[in-house]
Amino acid sequence: MSSKSADIPNSAPLLRAMTDSTKAGQLPDGLTAQDLKQMYEGMVLIRAYDERQKKLQRSGRIGFCVTSTGEEATQVGIGHALQDQDWIFGYYRQYGMMLYKGAPITELADHLFGNRDDYAKGRQMPAHYTNRRLNFVSSSSVIGTHLIHAAGAAMAAKYKKDNAVITTFIGDGGTSANDFHSCMTFAGVYKPPLVIYIVNNQYAISQPVSKQCGAETLHLKGVGYGVPAVRVDGNDVIAVYNASREAFAKARAGEGPTLIELFTYRVGPHSSSDDPTRYRGNESDQWLSEDKDPIARTRNYLKSLGLWDEAYEAKIWKDAQNQVNEGTSGSEKKPEPDWNSLFEDVYAELPPALARQRDELIEQESEFPRQQEGEFPL
């Protein structure tokens, strides 16, 4: 690591699974060969989507994107453990769970372009995904606000006894936000079916963990709130799955919340508007060369079980890239939302003052071509 690298204490053990299972030469408990290949293919699809996002942004075809390269195992491991009735209160980097749970790529791409079919109608920042069918709640640009929403939803699930588990996510930097404290207080006192994930990717934009918190590790924050906590290797997809499955089972049994720190790494920039080489040099290249990449690790694991060969690798990458190409190609050609849409979804009947503003806006804007409007480089 360079002198600018994150100063991460490693005294607390990380829960791992793939290394031990590889030595045993057996499939992990509760997972089939098909499960493992499905999880691997899910991570490949997320990375293929990330590559497409970056190309679209760098070629000026979308204004902004957020990638999750290096964190694929955190999303697929959890996604594989979730049930249909469960809820996800994430932030802008958990979209891989949507992809893994079957959200159409076109739906995500429409949002990136902010076109006519964007569920947010172009009003939200790009990369703030949502999906009603998957109980994936729209994220906020403000750090941590969704945590208290998740705590409230978990309290509701407890009262309703609907067997749903509520999951919520925060980055390492977000654990310093006031809403993290509020969420953890409710979780510790009322014991709702809530699983709080700290995705410790080692940087809050440009600040390493050592500048964010004086605790030895972030999972220790659960102790003060009376919330059981574990620290998991976030690049080990099976360990993530195992920890999630156990926490979900405990929550469904009425045994309360769990805090899970997922120790991983953000390979790419915080967003397409960030240049990480200014604060960490070429550290990410070194990280990849150290074979911590969750996709490479899972590939090696599949090899050890005789579940992988070159033909399989080539096929799943081609399939993923075709899915991404087909899913994104039509979104760019769709028109922008109508001006009328700015005045929808708030009032059942538009007040006269707003109706006049709408009419004036449409009359004024109709004289200008609708091109290159609403660009979003931060």
Residues tagged active-site: 266, 270, 279
In 3-state terms, what secondary structure has residue 97?
A: helix
Question: Long-range contact list for 18-25, CB < 8 A, 24+ apart?
Answer: 18/236, 18/237, 18/238, 18/239, 18/297, 18/298, 18/301, 19/236, 21/238, 21/301, 22/301, 22/304, 22/305, 25/304, 25/305
Q: Is 25 left (phi over 0), alpha (psi -120 to 50) or beta?
A: left
Q: Which amino acid would we find at residue 98?
A: M
Contact between 100 and 42 under an 8 Å Cβ cutoff? The reply is yes
Q: What burial class does residue 66 get, using C-beta atoms within 10 Å of its C-beta: 0-12 exposed, 13-18 middle, 19+ buried?
A: buried
Q: For 174, list phi and psi in degrees, rounded to 5.
A: -70, -15
The two tokens of residue 327 are 């899913």
What does DSSP say about strands 207-208 and 229-233: parallel, antiparallel, or unpaired?
unpaired
Listed in sequence order, the residues at least 6 apart from 239 whose beta carbon sits closer than 8 Å to its beta carbon are 14, 15, 16, 17, 18, 77, 232, 233
| E strand or H helix at 247 | helix 237-252
229 DSSP β-pair partners: 259
The Cα–Cα gap between 80 and 95 comes to 14
Q: For 289, list phi and psi in degrees, rounded to 5.
A: -70, -20
The Cα–Cα gap between 278 and 274 comes to 9
Contact between 373 and 336 under an 8 Å Cβ cutoff? The reply is yes
Angle at Cα 100 formed by Cα 285 and Cα 151, nearest 5°?
95
Tokens 């405990």, residue located: 250
